[in-house]
Amino acid sequence: MATITEVRTDALVPTDLVLKTGQIKIESEEISTKDLSDIPLPPPSKRPTEVLNVDKGTPDSHVPRDPRLIRLTGVHPFNVEPPLTDLYKEGFLTSPELFYVRNHGPVPHIKDEDIPHWEISIEGLVEKPLVLNFRQVLQQYDQITAPITLVCAGNRRKEQNIVRKTKGFSWGSAGLSTALFTGPLLADILRSAKPLRKAKYVCMEGADKLPNGHYGTSIKLNWALDPNRGIMLAHKMNGESLRPDHGRPLRAVVPGQIGGRSVKWLKRLILTDAPSDNWYHINDNRVLPTMVSPEMASNNRNWWHDERYAIYDLNTNSAVAYPQNNEVLSLLSAGPSYTVRGYAYAGGGRRVTRVEISLDKGKSWRLAEIEYAEDKYRDFEGELFGGKVDMYWRETCFCWCFWSLSITIPELENSDAILVR
């Protein structure tokens, strides 16, 4: 295995990786940039430098943001998704400025000089309680880099709300994004504190100050200790330090589960024998039985305290990116066919093995082609952005895939709708 110490190409990439035309130097040998051509690298990224007028005068007046992001809950708190077309055009990896954001309140204002002293505690049912600073997290634990798709539990809720109103605001179909995350495995951090036998859950708490306390949630300890699940603490995203909206300086990243389990601005890891009793763990990210109306749930809070209704693994999902909404296809200039394209993903590390398209409202279906860009990292041996890429042995899939299907123009002309499943 070799370490990439310098990469040179014409592409624009994060500041942590200097790129120019030439060769990649790997320890004592040199190889061509051609050897990196098979793995997706981050798209061109431009860090926003100015605070938008809409954010001035809010608690987030210290956070520069991209104006292309679509706000879903008014001005504040900041809950956004990119335009689906922009997201899809970026390809497999998403630039940080277009990465979707789910915030419950103000973004903690973390100054550069405070980051080396940022601390997280490992406490609760452990033999050796620990407090680690940011430097220790980076220097005392092996670092990995892995591609991971994060998805809000409410992705495509806008469409669901048309059928039946649910709790939560209306996400479109771009409430997901993918990045190369770098940091230590959560398992390594936890093992250094020596969990006790009766510990069953890892409760996580962030630094964001909210009306009902700090944001917190939990996952099962056996998940956290399983290397095949790839749960990590990330301090980099696409090779650059985390930006404020994405958890600067340290966050949890829980692949294959809803984004609400990946706590940002991480401060505490508490091992317990029961799920988190945090207000946000209980009152967010749950799906109650269909016969329980919003009024029933409001009058009887016991429904929300039932852990059986908590969402962990992502549901299988898919969406159409092309044709775009309101796209017009000229029959005079169009070729003989049109390629319908979109994305799909599954939860819990499962792989999407089939995507089907219907042009006749579900009477018949045809198979689409599937491209799993995530697989391209499995044969790569080396380091990216200071973390080891080690996916060859792993069977789980934690990223979105792209699907496509060529359809003749006459078929499209005679179709009322394109369905995907």
**Token duo for residue 317:** 């999902």
Instruction: Please tell me which residue in 152, 203, 399, 401 is annotated as part of the active site.
Output: 152
Beta pairing, strands 266-272 & 119-124: parallel
Give CA separation, 66 vs 153, 214, 250, 393, in Å. Answer: 23, 26, 22, 38
- Closest residue by Cα to residue 323 from 401, 258, 420: 420
Contact (Cβ atoms closer than 8 angstroms) between residue 343 and residue 89: no
Contact (Cβ atoms closer than 8 angstroms) between residue 389 and residue 144: yes
325 is catalytic: no
* Encoded amino acid at 83, one letter: P
Tokens 């510990």 locate to 199
d(CA 342, CA 356): 11
161 is catalytic: no
DSSP secondary structure letters along 69-86: SEESSSSSS-EEE--HHH
Instruction: Please tell me which residue in 155, 285, 317, 397 is annotated as part of the active site.
Output: 285
Instruction: Please tell me which residue in 284, 317, 390, 397 is annotated as part of the active site.
Output: 284
300 is catalytic: no
Ramachandran bin of 156, using left for φ above 0, alpha for ψ from -120 to 50, beta for the remaining angles: left
Catalytic machinery residues: 152, 284-285
